[in-house]
Amino acid sequence: MAELELRDVRKSYGRIDVLHDIDLKIEDGEFVVLVGPSGCGKSTLLRMIAGLEPISGGDFLIGGKQMNDVPPRDRDIAMVFQSYALYPHMAVDRNMGFSMEIRRKPAAERKGPVTRAARTLGLEPYLDRFPKALSGGQRQRVAMGRAIVRDPKAFLFDEPLSNLDAALRVEMRLEIARLHQRLGTTMVYVTHDQVEAMTLADRIVVLNAGEIQQIGTPLELYEAPANRFVAQFIGSPTMNVLELPPEGGLKLDSGARIAGTGGARHLGMRPEHLRIVPAGQGDITVEAQVIERLGSDTNIYTEAAHLGPLLVRAHGNVDLRSGERCGLIFDREKLHLFDQEGARITPNAAAPVQG
Partner 1 sequence: MASISRPHPALVVGKYLAVAFYVAFALFPLYWLFKIALTPDALIYTDGTALWPSALTLENFRSVIFASDFLDYFRNSVIVSLSTAAATSLIAAAAGYAFSRFVFRGKRWVVALMLLTQMFPLLMIIAPIYKIVAAVGLLNSLWSLIIVYTAFNIPFATFLMQSFFDGIPKDLEEAAMMDGCTRFQALRKVILPLTLPGLAATLGFVFTAAWSELLFALMLVSKTDAMTFPVGLLTFVSKFSVDWGQMMAAGVLALIPSCLFFLFIQRYLVQGLTSGAVKG
Which of residues 79 and 258 has its CB atom nearest to partner 1 in the complex? 79
Which of residues 86 and 244 has its CB atom nearest to partner 1 in the complex? 86
Which of residues 143 and 291 has its CB atom nearest to partner 1 in the complex? 143
| Closest separation in Å from C-beta 147 to partner 1 | 9
Question: What residues line the site for partner 1 (CB under 8 A)?
Answer: 50, 52, 71-73, 77-79, 81-89, 98-99, 102-103, 130-134, 136, 139, 146, 150, 163
3 state DSSP class of 267: strand
Question: From CA 229, how far away is CA 282, in angstroms rounded?
Answer: 28
| Closest separation in Å from C-beta 212 to partner 1 | 25
Which of residues 33 and 78 has its CB atom nearest to partner 1 in the complex? 78
| Closest separation in Å from C-beta 60 to partner 1 | 16
Element (H or E) spanning 190, and its range?
A: strand 186-191
Of residues 179, 183, 194, 155, the one with CA closest to residue 46? 155
CB burial of residue 278 (10 Å; 0-12, 13-18, 19+): exposed
| Closest separation in Å from C-beta 71 to partner 1 | 7
Neighbouring residues of 149: CB distance < 8 A, sequence distance ≥ 6: 96, 97, 99, 100, 113, 114, 117
| Closest separation in Å from C-beta 305 to partner 1 | 48
Which of residues 49 and 198 has its CB atom nearest to partner 1 in the complex? 49
The backbone torsions φ and ψ at residue 186, rounded to the nearest 5 degrees and listed phi first, read -55, 135
Radius of gyration for the chain, computed over Cα atoms and rounded to the nearest angstrom: 24
